[in-house]
Structure 1
């Protein structure tokens, strides 16, 4: 009961301080407000950045490794580019070999994409689209959802049946007044029957490949369409590992061994292929965003420090103004710890108000959200902001509270 009474009494004193000296109190709390805003805004923006990047990279899949000619990142600056160019592309035979011999391989698919293509349906045209040819297993690796229709059957995929699953953007552009399923679209002089439509993916922060502007066809159909005309094809393999292979070290080592064996690469010869992990991109971005959070926290702490001194100044003024009141309280039997906690809680509430103002400003950042960059103040950052502001109040109020609690009641009453 004593604690509850002390709590509400301290809250009342803090509110009175705001009412009686509004301008002075707000200016003093400005440091806490700016500090909390700086820290939590950085945390919120970094979280939004992480979420947007994760969403952008989700198109690549989880526990996934890509096998191709080119690495995602050129870690060897002095390595001649033409050596990458001269590397052989993965083949269907390699895809089958890995599928049959990979112990750590959960699923593997071969794919190739051709960009900058035009799709037609009657008088409607979709330009700058992508033709994406892949084997049947891609459905078990990629996380894309088919909103309407279905995926290829094993037979359709193996025999190169000219069926297609189209992106949401393509469907909207070509079939504005009706269902796309069962209709026939044209591209590169070939006709494809639409059997499915992907769920809308929308814009991504990293401008990663989107399903919205593509048509997906069986890989064998793409080969017939291009290779039969002598056009160049450079496919890649996409390999999904098992969950227990946490760092994908097992599958990476196994793939390297299988590819070197299949291609007959001698022990002293270098690899003529690239193994690319999407996890490496996520880890790199995580380290960058971690550094941003640290930098934002340091910058915010300087503002918090200024705010802490301002609150301490308010509390010293408050102690001086209420010296006689402190003397009367002590004369009536109030213990030192009661006076200490009273001023300590008051300082905490004042800082708390400043923190709430800062969090309110952070929540306003959501007005600047875009489709690919959603900003929102989550519960964790809200709690962190409130905790920091309350902690600053306690630390700032400890010295004034101690000075108030140690006052001699007689001398304090004489001060009036």
Structure 2
């Protein structure tokens, strides 16, 4: 009961401080508002960008290792000329790994190319055409909005069947069901058996399933030459959940692939193992730097705001010296006076912080292309937490001075 009374009185005094000199208080709280706005705005932008970029790379899958000639992530000394001379993956290596690997849940083989898809007088350019094996669905998630995935018989017999994206379906078959309809790819006729679930636009339009067509790998090789001097295929492997960091899978994969390619112990690997975590970690480190910059920018504003709140509290202690003396003469303890002024400082700081958060919330309604800005609950709590800490730090000295006032001297000062 005493605690609630203390909070109520502190709130009343804080509001009185606001009313007594509104201009001074607003200018003092402006620093906290700008600081919280800067920090939370940067964090909101970083979180939204990171989420959008990572979703753009969701096609890489989780717990997935791919075998390629080139390394996904490289520094300034990236030896591309060395990677360029490496051999292409082969279908024979895929079947070998699928038979021998024990640390992988599934292994798949695929190749892709850009092409144009037609149906009657309609066409769709810039289509990402992929040729896949039956195990592709075991390595990557293939959500379908309609239809089905390939059967093993369709894959093994290289049937001319296809799964298409929603954009392609709406363009080629605007008012009719695409399932069972025919499309043409490089003159070849394919029957549509499925439509991918809509992904929507991301910050990067990389390998979007909305503009993709998937066909059996054997059918793909009838249209394109795969291998050296042709399209580069990829081997992908799904790791087990209990294989932390996919260490066991990588070690076994390196040993088997080196043996298959006949590499001597003294020779270095002529292939690269890429994981989606490489890209995600690189993206995360970049945004860590941006977040640090947000702390620095907002920190200076908050520092100014903290001094402003401290100034308000010193003035408040001076104006209420007589009241403090009366309270102490009536038996108020030092901690009561201390807490009263601390609560007041926190309330004032929270007003500035809440204003900053509301400004951030307002900018999330501003359209920024395909980027969706979202003010997360985590950032709201962070903003309120920073505001509370600033209030405590700014108010501790004035509150301590108020708590230590001698009641007699305080009453005389009136």
Class of the TM-score when normalised by the shorter of the 2 chains:
over 0.9
- Given candidates 299, 323, 327, the residue that maps to 1:301 is 299
Return the alpha-carbon distance in structure 1 between the equivalents of residues 64 and 250 of structure 2: 10
What CA deviation, in whole Å up to 9, does each residue of 1:130-187 have, x standing for no partner? 2110101111222231101000001101111000000111111111111110000011
C-alpha spacing 1:100/1:381, structure 2 compared with 1 (3 Å): same
C-alpha spacing 1:141/1:47, structure 2 compared with 1 (3 Å): same
Which residue is 1:111 aligned to?
Answer: 110
Return the alpha-carbon distance in structure 2 between the equivalents of residues 369 and 106 of structure 1: 42
Return the alpha-carbon distance in structure 2 between the equivalents of residues 324 and 342 of structure 1: 15
- Given candidates 136, 139, 147, the residue that maps to 2:137 is 139
SS in 2 for 1:270: coil
C-alpha spacing 1:86/1:340, structure 2 compared with 1 (3 Å): closer
Which residue is 1:94 aligned to?
Answer: 93
Return the alpha-carbon distance in structure 2 between the equivalents of residues 238 and 88 of structure 1: 16
SS in 1 for 2:385: helix
TM-score for both structures, normalised by structure 1? 0.95
C-alpha spacing 1:99/1:219, structure 2 compared with 1 (3 Å): same
Which residue is 1:12 aligned to?
Answer: 12
* Mapped pair 1:233 → 2:231: yes
Return the alpha-carbon distance in structure 2 between the equivalents of residues 288 and 413 of structure 1: 59
SS in 2 for 1:243: coil
TM-score for both structures, normalised by structure 2? 0.95
C-alpha spacing 1:323/1:80, structure 2 compared with 1 (3 Å): closer
CA contact (8 A) 1:156 1:218 kept: yes
SS in 1 for 2:224: helix
Post-superposition offset of 1:67: 1.0
Return the alpha-carbon distance in structure 2 between the equivalents of residues 394 and 366 of structure 1: 30
User: Which consecutive residues of structure 1, in runs of 5 or more, have no partner in the other structure?
Assistant: none
CA contact (8 A) 1:54 1:282 kept: yes
CA contact (8 A) 2:70 2:80 kept: no
Return the alpha-carbon distance in structure 1 between the equivalents of residues 218 and 151 of structure 2: 13
CA contact (8 A) 1:326 1:404 kept: yes
Which residue is 1:341 aligned to?
Answer: 339
- Given candidates 238, 254, 262, the residue that maps to 2:252 is 254
SS in 2 for 1:100: helix
User: Which consecutive residues of structure 2, in runs of 5 or more, have no partner in the other structure?
Assistant: none
CA contact (8 A) 2:117 2:123 kept: yes
C-alpha spacing 1:79/1:324, structure 2 compared with 1 (3 Å): closer
Return the alpha-carbon distance in structure 2 between the equivalents of residues 341 and 267 of structure 1: 72
Return the alpha-carbon distance in structure 1 between the equivalents of residues 4 and 249 of structure 2: 60
SS in 2 for 1:33: helix
C-alpha spacing 1:34/1:257, structure 2 compared with 1 (3 Å): same
Alignment of 1:335-374 (within 5 A): 335-370=333-368, 372-374=370-372
Which residue is 1:40 aligned to?
Answer: 40
C-alpha spacing 1:195/1:405, structure 2 compared with 1 (3 Å): same
Alignment of 1:21-60 (within 5 A): 21-60=21-60
Alignment of 1:248-287 (within 5 A): 248-287=246-285
Return the alpha-carbon distance in structure 1 between the equivalents of residues 80 and 343 of structure 2: 67
Post-superposition offset of 1:326: 1.7
Give aligned pairs, total: 413
SS in 1 for 2:274: strand
What CA deviation, in whole Å up to 9, does each residue of 1:361-409 have, x standing for no partner? 1212312354642221111111111111111111111111111122222
